[in-house]
Amino acid sequence: VGFESVRMPQADDPPARVPYEAEGIYALGVPRLFFTTHQSTVRTQDIIRAQPRLFFFSSFVSEEYQPFCQDFGPIDLGGVVRFTEEVRSYMEDNRLQHRRLVYYSATDSASITNSVFLLCCYLMLEHGFTPERAVARFERIENLPIEPFRDATFEVDTFGLTILDCLRGLKRATSLGWFDRVVFDAEGREELYEKPEHDISPMTPKFVAFATPKDDPKDERYSARKSINHQAPFRRLGVTDVVRLNSDALYRDSVFEQTMGFKHHVVEVPDCSAPPARQVERFLNICDDSGEGVVAVHCLAGLGRTGTLIGCHMIKHYGFTAAECIGYLRAMRPGSVIGRQQHYLELIAECEWKGNLPGVSDEALQKIIKDAWSAGRNAAVQCISQAATLLRAGSNLSALETLSGDEDVEEEGAAKAGGGGVTLALELQTASQRSNASTETRGCSFEQSEGGEEAR
């Protein structure tokens, strides 16, 4: 394999589009670093023997994600930091300074998607790429099998979280000072997460998410993580307030207040749902009243309702989009925000606020629904409409009842109203029925490198 020097691209240069093929080798926009996919371990061994001048490497980090249901990523920030350090160690190794480094992934879409996410994080954190520029290095590879991340359920995916969403969330958190890979304590986080004593995840400087404690050893529904086990780690994390979201309390609330000295609050939200506007207001008031203290929040698993309410605070106070927020939350605590809660956060991002009370207007709701239909996200419309009922003042459902006008917004199979309008209620009923029914071997070839070299 021979290389020749070419011009280093500028940051705003559009990368040349190239076709994807397994075992093709693709430049990542920085000198000496490339990406490829291999179909099997045997092929990897054959390719390494055939290309001794190249250094092929992979990482177990891309395989670390432990799914809850049909979810497969993204890799959490502890993994991102370890991966970045691994790649940097290879790039800086004196023994490899005159060799091209080729990261290889398996060819299935989940492996490729997680590998691309990790490589994009490396390009951002080590080389200062913007999220858009990092993703562009892979978007130009036509038909590279990348798929959106999904929520931790077995239901039909209605949201579609992209790598770019996750990178933008990480970028925003970094700009806020929430994440710094140099001081990020990956080992400390692992000591708190999914342990027999507790299941705790620091999320932002303001919030800690955790799974419900349980003090009754006879209750076999959930792990026996006693309330008192949380006292020491919460003290270290600066927690002053604890918020319980689940109505089925598995411990005595007084334990946190009288025994441990934390303020304890109950903001009950039904399981697998999103909070009504007044519960959002109450939660945000608690956060405001806590001053500089950290608020620890839990439901049953500390994923869905917990992530949703933390997300409301992130969107209101720090300008996260719903997708950025969800991407960041899942990188901090895998599985966060589930099902229609994703669309609820879309609405929160468009809400008008009266103090800490959110409300979605007819105009904002119509726009979100139209955008969903225009993007072909028909299954999302029902979730959006259901979430909207929690955020509307009184019982005014005019935006849900009718969407009139000259524009013809139609979902396949739904009943059309006369006069060119669309009766949204019928559309949503049809979508609901449909949703319910649906739930039941060649040599290496290098492309032109824009990172300063070419291989033939």
Q: Which residues are catalytic?
A: 299
Q: Strand pairing of 207-210 and 294-298?
A: parallel
Evaluate whether 449 touches 27 at the Cβ level (below 8 Å).
yes
How far apart, in whole angstroms, are the C-alpha atoms of residue 123 and residue 137? 10
Q: Is the dihedral of CA 224, 229, 234, 237 positive or negative?
A: negative
The two structure tokens encoding residue 77: 């920030």
CB contact set of 131 (below 8 Å; sequence gap of 6+): 120, 124, 164, 167, 168, 170, 171
How far apart, in whole angstroms, are the C-alpha atoms of residue 409 and residue 417? 11
Task: Identify the CA nearest to 199 among candidates 273, 293, 295, 303.
Answer: 303
Annotate 331-398 with DSSP letters as a single string. HHSTT-S-TTHHHHHHHHTT-EEETTEEE--HHHHHHHHHHHHHTT-HHHHHHHHHHHTTSSSTT--H
Give the residue carrying structure tokens 């270290």: 236
How far apart, in whole angstroms, are the C-alpha atoms of residue 6 and residue 28? 14
Task: Identify the CA nearest to 399 among candidates 376, 381, 419, 378.
Answer: 381
How far apart, in whole angstroms, are the C-alpha atoms of residue 345 and residue 337? 9
How far apart, in whole angstroms, are the C-alpha atoms of residue 394 and residue 390? 10
Evaluate whether 424 touches 400 at the Cβ level (below 8 Å).
yes
How far apart, in whole angstroms, are the C-alpha atoms of residue 361 and residue 423? 19
How far apart, in whole angstroms, are the C-alpha atoms of residue 308 and residue 243? 13
Residue 237: strand, helix, or coil: helix
Task: Identify the CA nearest to 303 among candidates 109, 71, 114.
Answer: 71
- Residue 35: phi and psi, rounded to 5, are -130, 140
Look up residue 156 and give its DSSP letter: P
Q: Is 413 left (phi over 0), alpha (psi -120 to 50) or beta?
A: left
How far apart, in whole angstroms, are the C-alpha atoms of residue 425 and residue 415? 10
How far apart, in whole angstroms, are the C-alpha atoms of residue 425 and residue 123? 46
How far apart, in whole angstroms, are the C-alpha atoms of residue 381 and residue 393? 20
- Residue 324: phi and psi, rounded to 5, are -60, -45
